[in-house]
Amino acid sequence: IENKMSFLPQKEGKHPSRCPDNSAFKQQKLPAWKPQLTTATVLSTFFLTGAFCLSVGICLILSANSVREVQIDYSDRCSDCSKLRENSSNWNRECHCSVNFTLKEDILGDVFMYYGLENFYQNHRRYVISRSDAQLLGQNVNIEKSYCTPFTMYRNGTPMAPCGAIANSMFNDTIDLFYNLKSSVIQVPLLKTGNSWWTDKNVKFRNPKAYNLSSAFAGTARPPYWWKPVYLLDEEDERNNGYLNDDFIIWMRVSAFATFRNLYRRVHRIRQFADGLPAGNYTFHISYNFPVTKFKGRKHVILSTVVWSGGSNPFLGIAYVVSGAAATLTGFVITAIHLKLRKKKTYFQK
């Protein structure tokens, strides 16, 4: 009995009680919001989402349709050059080709020129890693430790600048656009800078520091497929030369898929082209350097305007419309089922 007495609450002062705290957390009584799938919430979710998706989808389709786009596959049109390039021994022979097209209507606004590649696996893992970011930052690094192999060094030990498969395979066709006005041919002014991301141009790529660019790259050699060293990529513009060359920077931003397009030039809106490209006949003058036929690749040149949602790809718009329609339809089906069940329930209750 004495033993039991010691457990009685009166003596709690001596032994601290082992009674658990009465806190909301420990008693699992934390205040909580308890959402539930009620008919009202489910139906409103479906109808609201449906309506939203439908309207967004229609907007997207309308704006995608307003995009003017000209896409020309020139890997067939320039079949002579393609064949020439299939044989790598002809690497130093220039090949030019012209592609004509007609604009029936003016293309107003900013016009962008892209080159597109098909079946070019820029997203292959070994391709993606085959670069040295440190080298491209202008740092003096030992690229042997990078993933650039086999495009790291020449047999004589001269390192490649830039190294790696990405840089080596840089797209090197030059495309010029000419406007055939009556009998005269006017070259459309194209901007070759300002096409890359600001962060790439200003953060990610830097030339090695030196008194001038050619000395900065002294002791290195161009990648094997290149025609000229990296410090001669743009001889006219110091700010667009070396690693800072926009074409190079854009190429180095590898694509996620085997079919992709990269921004090549922008139409400079001056003179006749202040409002965009007027209707008429045009010619692309292409210096065909980049072989693709061997791996069944294709090359395109694309002229396009843009809207808030991007280019002419209607995928998002269609996907939104379809999803919206499906959601609305499901909403109706659920309503029907619910009404039927409720009828049945009241019937049984009677």
Q: Please say which residue, 180 or 323, places its beta carbon nearer to another protein.
A: 323
Nearest to 177 by CA among 331, 26, 72: 72
Range in contact with another protein (rule: CB under 8 A) among 6-14, 72-80, 181-189, 273-281: 6-14
Q: Please say which residue, 186 or 191, places its beta carbon nearer to another protein.
A: 191
User: Binding residue for another protein (CB under 8 A) from 95, 97, 103, 149?
Assistant: 149
CA distance 213 to 220: 12
Range in contact with another protein (rule: CB under 8 A) among 97-105, 108-116, 175-183, 227-235: 108-116
User: Binding residue for another protein (CB under 8 A) from 2, 21, 105, 236?
Assistant: 21
What is the pattern of x (binds another protein, CB under 8 A) and - over residues 70-89?
------------------x-
Answer for the pair 178, 248: CB distance below 8 angstroms, yes or no.
no
Q: Please say which residue, 93 or 294, places its beta carbon nearer to another protein.
A: 294
- Number of Cβ within 10 Å of residue 149's Cβ equals 14
What does residue 140 show for φ and ψ, rounded to 5 degrees? -90, 90
User: Binding residue for another protein (CB under 8 A) from 55, 66, 150, 279?
Assistant: 150
Range in contact with another protein (rule: CB under 8 A) among 11-19, 100-108, 178-186, 227-235: 11-19
What is the pattern of x (binds another protein, CB under 8 A) and - over residues 27-66?
xx-xxxxxxxx-x--x--xx--x---x--x---x------
Q: Please say which residue, 30 or 270, places its beta carbon nearer to another protein.
A: 30
CA distance 58 to 72: 28
Closest distance to another protein from the beta carbon of 146 (Å): 8
CA distance 147 to 130: 5
Which residues in 162-221 contact another protein (CB under 8 A)? 165, 168-169, 195-200, 203-204
Q: Please say which residue, 281 or 311, places its beta carbon nearer to another protein.
A: 311
Q: Please say which residue, 195 or 220, places its beta carbon nearer to another protein.
A: 195
C-alpha distance from residue 314 to each of 64, 99, 106, 204 (Å)? 6, 27, 22, 33
Q: For helices 39-65 and 315-349, what crossing angle results, to 10°?
A: 160
The answer to whether 308 contacts another protein (rule: CB under 8 A) is yes
Q: Please say which residue, 185 or 224, places its beta carbon nearer to another protein.
A: 224
Overall size of the chain counted in residues: 350
Closest distance to another protein from the beta carbon of 327 (Å): 6
331: which residues sit within 8 A by CB, 6+ positions away?
Answer: 43, 46, 47, 50
CA distance 160 to 200: 21
Closest distance to another protein from the beta carbon of 106 (Å): 18
Block residue for tokens 């790259």: 217
Answer for the pair 146, 132: CB distance below 8 angstroms, yes or no.
yes
User: Binding residue for another protein (CB under 8 A) from 190, 254, 276, 325?
Assistant: 254
Burial class of residue 282, CB neighbours in 10 A (0-12, 13-18, 19+):
buried
Q: Please say which residue, 206 or 285, places its beta carbon nearer to another protein.
A: 206
DSSP state of 22: -
The answer to whether 274 contacts another protein (rule: CB under 8 A) is no
Which residues in 114-143 contact another protein (CB under 8 A)? 114, 116, 119-128, 130, 133-134, 137, 139
- Number of Cβ within 10 Å of residue 333's Cβ equals 11
Which residues in 222-241 contact another protein (CB under 8 A)? none
Closest distance to another protein from the beta carbon of 84 (Å): 15
Which tokens go with 81?
A: 């050059």
Strands 184-187, 174-181: pairing kind: antiparallel
